[in-house]
Amino acid sequence: MGRVVKIFFELFFSGHSPIRLFLTRITQLIVRIEAKNPIQLFGLILFTFFIQSKLLACSPGSFHADGNKNKKAIALTFDDGPGEWTLKILDLLDHYQVKATFFMNGDQVELRPELAKEVLKRGHEIGDHTYSHINFYTYERKFGLEKTKLKVKEEIQKSRDLIVQATGKSPEICRMPHGYHRSWMKEIGKEFKLCLVNWTFGKDWLKISEDRLLKEYLQNIKPGAILLFHDGGRHREKTLNLLPLIIEEAKKRNFSIVTIHQILEP
């Protein structure tokens, strides 16, 4: 029995959300079948609550692609900025009184520190998106694992320093470029005290029609969804056109629109 519990916890704390979710469901099932008296039931409910909170909490080294699916909320996230489109997006978010999350690249913060500061001033959350947006899948193939680990650390640190310099606040969340994820990233997350966040859905950088994009984003307004957009880079007209329609539809369906930390609250 001791060994089973040990394996359970090792798997649970491995940082892989699907495994955690599976184990949580199994525990919930055991609660239903096994609890024979109120004290046992209470204990098991506490235990599942503990597991649920560990599963969702945004903590150093934890990795998430979705938020809390029990909450009728979505999170809007914007990558690769601050850029030419950031201010327009900030004004739009203000108009709808919505708070979002911006994953910034250090090289862009270096160019526009005042804009990074403005994002924070308007009440949005800022995350690290590394310094220069390297595709680490390609980098890993080319240079091997050890060099990649060093480069990832260097890129996160460089970006963090610039964000702190511009805003006075150190990011607590990180989204790797291209959603790069490896099991050892958990250790890097712990070292830099960063929670790692990918996304549920996002396609605004693809060359597809505005109609199709809108349809797909609207289909993905689901409890706990983390939606990805871009404020950095050029030609974000489509993003800017889609946003009001997505926000209005979410509000119409009684979804709240929250930041990454909020959507990951248990």
Residues that bind Zn ion (CB under 5 A): 79-80, 177
Q: Which is nearer to Zn ion, 70 or 135 (CB)?
A: 135
Burial class (CB in 10 A: 0-12, 13-18, 19+), 33: exposed
Shortest spacing between CB 80 and Zn ion, in angstroms = 4
Shortest spacing between CB 77 and Zn ion, in angstroms = 10
Query: How do 256-258 and 73-81 pair as beta strands?
Result: parallel
Convert 54-69 to b/e letters by CB count within 10 Å (16 or more is b): ebbebeebbbbbbbbe
Q: Which residue is nearest to Zn ion (CB)?
A: 79
Catalytic hit among 66, 79, 80, 231: 79
Shortest spacing between CB 199 and Zn ion, in angstroms = 10
172 CB contacts (<8 Å, ≥6 apart)?
58, 127, 193, 194, 195, 261
For residue 82, cis peptide bond before it (omega within 30 degrees of 0): yes
Shortest spacing between CB 10 and Zn ion, in angstroms = 32
Q: Which is nearer to Zn ion, 51 or 152 (CB)?
A: 152
Q: Which is nearer to Zn ion, 66 or 79 (CB)?
A: 79
**Residue 66 annotated as catalytic:** no
State whether residue 10 is helix, strand or coil: helix
Q: Which is nearer to Zn ion, 80 or 155 (CB)?
A: 80
Catalytic hit among 129, 133, 230, 261: 230
Place of tokens 């004004």: 91
**Residue 230 annotated as catalytic:** yes
Whether 85 contacts 240, CB under 8 Å: yes
Which residues have a catalytic role annotated? 79, 230
